[in-house]
Amino acid sequence: MFSSLADKLVLSNGVQMPGIGFGTWQVPTDSTLENAVSAALKLGYRFFDTAQIYGNASAIGRGVLLSDLPRAEIFISSKIWTSHRSYDGVMRAFTDIIEQLKTTYLDQLLIHWPATQGEPMIWQSQNAGTWRALEDLYEQGAVKVIGVSNFLPHHLVPLLARARIRPMVNQLEIHPGYPQFAAVNFCFKQNIAVQAWSPLGRGGLTHHPLLIELGEKYGVSPALIALRWSLQHGFIPVVKALDAEHMKSNLDAFGLTLEDEDMTRLDTMQQVAFSGLHPDTVTF
């Protein structure tokens, strides 16, 4: 799966999603991000991932406007923060997001966290109300893809029971050191596509002996081993890079194929480079 940058993942609603995302978390909101987005577009990136809490939508919008590409060729995703997790909150947030991005619609909108603080009935109700707003935006054509982020099976089950439109995407922390196969397999059985945030384990995997060994075997960097692992599993990695050389090198993952035995070794390595952000214990 994903042997070239041109390959797309067809979602349950027929929308075609690019095979790699450009992450923007903790990227400066000045001209640094604006120029990075512009450079990424020139290299072939088409999927840009942001979030309400990142506070960088305006810079992304400026970077997109610097290109001559039609808006329809660019896939822009954002996420609703926990402070806006209600029907009215989503509608207010959506208006702010598209104004900052200087666009009239979003390609993808996700609920950022399941926000499980408190009794289950409370967060289940919050998720249901938030999801209704996403469903309405989808039916209005204001958003092309709706989904969730950091939702585990026990968060998804009650949401699926109430949803009239099923989530098309779940963005999870996924990398060889934290594969979350139980959540991934649940999503795949429900025909929910999986995006991988922190696919390099916040850089922690680049120093791991196994990835270094495999990098030497294939003549690539440990980072490319981790990215190829995601692509080969059918995950869409959302990876951050600021300089053009780094952006370009990440795309080399499409020309790589890992042998089955090496995929198995990566699948079964010990847990490492976990962010510590578990959706049931985060305090935001």
- 87 noted as active-site residue: no
Overall pTM surpassing 0.75 (yes/no):
yes
Closest CA relative to residue 238, chosen from 9, 66, 80: 9
**Mean pLDDT, the chain, as a whole number?**
96
Question: Per the residue annotation, which of 54, 87, 105, 138 is the catalytic one?
Answer: 54
8 Å CB contact between 177 and 205:
yes
Average pLDDT of span 105-133: 91
Q: How confident is the model at residue 269 (pLDDT cuts 50, 70, 90)?
A: very high
- At 121 the pLDDT is 79
What structural domains and CATH numbers belong to the chain? Answer: 15-268 (3.20.20.100)
Cα 77 from Cα 92, distance rounded (Å): 17
Task: Give 273-284 pLDDT, tens digit per residue.
Answer: 999 999 998 888
- At 6 the pLDDT is 94
Question: In angstroms, what is the C-alpha Rg of the chain?
Answer: 18
278 known ligand binder: no
Task: Give 134-181 pLDDT, tens digit per residue.
Answer: 999 999 999 999 999 999 999 999 999 999 999 999 999 999 999 999
